[in-house]
Structure 1
Amino acid sequence: MLRKFLIPTAVVVLSGLSMGKAAVAAPTPMSSPLMPYVQAAESQYEKLNINTATADQIAVAMIGVGKSKAENIVKFREQLGGFKNIDQLLEVKGIGQRTLDKNRDRLTIE
């Protein structure tokens, strides 16, 4: 009796799994001239150097940072003569602790 129940149930479950996989579309890769900078920022080995990156590179690589905030970072960096530590980003208008925390692992100062 248990066999009569388990075999049809297994068939339904397994067919549902295979159908579910077929229905899921593969992610589409993003294409952008700035894509290498995003990949570098997401890599655990290569990080975005905020002392040399352009505003466009910063805007693409940092979570929650658009063109305007990225330009503020570059202006502040120029006035400062370069960042000495990543926490100095908190002094940039528009960059708060949450934004810094989301991006800390993506950034470096060299």
Structure 2
Amino acid sequence: MIRTFLSASVFALLTGFAVSSYAAKTEPVAPASAAVVQAAPVNLNTADVETLTRELKGIGETKAKAIVQYREAHGPFTSIDELLEVKGIGAATLEKNRAKLSLN
């Protein structure tokens, strides 16, 4: 009887270790690079055409060039909403990118 009890105890103990190690392996891990990508906003006053095209949704090369040309003609942007003054940039495009934009 003692032998059965000890066998059952050892079996339960080993099973517990196996389950806990399996659970530890299956936990999702967020990639560290995701935080870095989101942390760098696009500065409307300094970004070049390539950066604007690569980082902003709905902004191709033509619209990116228009943003740079507007900035060169009118000076630095004073608000994110001023982007609506650029030909080809509408409210929907601005809202898709608002969280990624900065002025400094």
Sort the TM-score into its range (normalised by shorter chain): 0.5 to 0.7
Larger Rg belongs to:
2
Residue 107 of structure 1 deviates from its aligned partner by: 0.5
- Quote the residue 2:16 is aligned against: none
Partner SS, residue 83 of structure 1: coil
Pick the aligned partner of 2:81 from 72, 84, 87.
87
- Quote the residue 1:74 is aligned against: 68
Q: Distance in 1 between matches of 2:98 and 2:60?
A: 16
Q: Which runs of 4+ in 1 moved over 3 A?
A: none
Query: Structure 1: where are the runs of 5+ without partners?
Result: 1-38
Q: Distance in 1 between matches of 2:82 and 2:74?
A: 10
Total equivalences in the alignment: 70
2:68 is equivalent to residue 47 of structure 1: no
Aligned-pair identity in percent equals 43
2:82 is equivalent to residue 102 of structure 1: no
Residue 43 of structure 2 aligns with an amino acid whose one-letter code is: N
- Quote the residue 1:57 is aligned against: 51
Query: Structure 2: where are the runs of 5+ without partners?
Result: 1-34
Residue 46 of structure 1 deviates from its aligned partner by: 2.0
Any idea what the Cα deviations from partners look like across 1:19-66, whole Å, max 9, x if unmatched? xxxxxxxxxxxxxxxxxxxx86x51x3201010000110011110000
Q: TM-score, normalised by structure 1?
A: 0.60
- Quote the residue 2:15 is aligned against: none
Q: TM-score, normalised by structure 2?
A: 0.64
Aligned residues: CA RMSD: 1.5
Q: Distance in 2 between matches of 1:48 and 1:64?
A: 14
